[in-house]
Amino acid sequence: MSEPILVPRREPVLNLPRVITALLIVLAIIHLVRTYVLWPRQDQLLLLVFSFIPARYEAAGLGVDFPGGALADLWTPLTYGLLHGDFVHLAVNGVWLAAFGSALAWRFGAWRFLLFSALATMGGAAAHYFAHSQDFVPMVGASGAISGHMAAVSRFMFQTGGPLGRYGRDPQARFQVPAVPLSGVIADRRVLGFLAIWFAINLLAGFGTLAVPGEEAVVAWEAHVGGFLTGLLLFDLFDPVRRAPVEVDPYDRFDGPDRPAG
């Protein structure tokens, strides 16, 4: 009897969590419908109802009646993250979502990831509102959530055996390494360097000195910062991975001659 031929297992080129694949499909379908199905006037109405417009919350004082009413006041801080300005904007955010969102989804699981993303999205809307409370320009894009993903992933991506390490027998184990505690972020030069570069890029883009592919002429950098800080601060509440135990020297409490020689 001939022996079976063993075919080496091939890893897929894009090994994305299902929740990320589903989100990318949803974002693409929404934009395709807006571009090829809706008439311009219908798309304009959709933006007024589902994009985030800071002046909506000042409508009473400005004498403006926005479509959607009070319900839109509740959902637009979240639904703006499902809309994009054009295909380039969608593609750029899709790449960042696949890169950083996947790492976080592998660690959190689908439902934790979705709730975390929703809060980062709303954190971005809140920051944008406080900076532009009477602005009538609609804000769209998933950048607030993605900024939150970046902040969260920065807490564990530099760790030994983490996402930046080499593939092992279980690639997903790279996303389960203990994270840097929030109090230790400043002490870790790699994390601190990542945070500094990220904030510098967003500040330069916000002041118009740096072109950001896929973004509007005016970058809503405050929303990026809001989403990023939300992700950085809320990470511990969602993280299911337990921290590594701190090794304590049992003789630290002894002084002088009672401490054995090393």
- What digits encode the pLDDT tens for the residues 116-130? 999 999 999 999 999
pLDDT at 8: 45
Model confidence, pTM: 0.82
**What is the per-residue pLDDT across 202-252, written as a single tens digit (0 to 9) for each?**
777 665 444 444 444 446 889 999 999 999 999 999 999 976 554 444 444
Q: Is residue 29 part of a domain?
A: yes
| Distance separating alpha carbons of residues 240 and 121, to the nearest angstrom | 21
Residue predicted with more confidence, 10 or 181? 181
| Residue 50 domain-assigned (yes or no) | yes
Residue numbers of the domain that contains 187: 18-241
**Does residue 5 sit within a domain?**
no
Residue 182 lies in a domain: yes
At residue 170 the predicted structure's pLDDT band, cuts being 50, 70 and 90, is low
CATH of the domain at 129: 1.20.1540.10
Looking at the domain assignment, is residue 246 inside a domain?
Answer: no
259 occurs within a structural domain: no
Does residue 178 sit within a domain?
A: yes
In a domain, 256, yes or no: no
Q: How many CB atoms lie within 10 A of CB 256?
A: 5
What value does the mean pLDDT take over residues 160-170?
67
Q: How many domains does the chain have?
A: 1
Do the beta carbons of residue 80 and residue 141 sit within 8 Å? yes
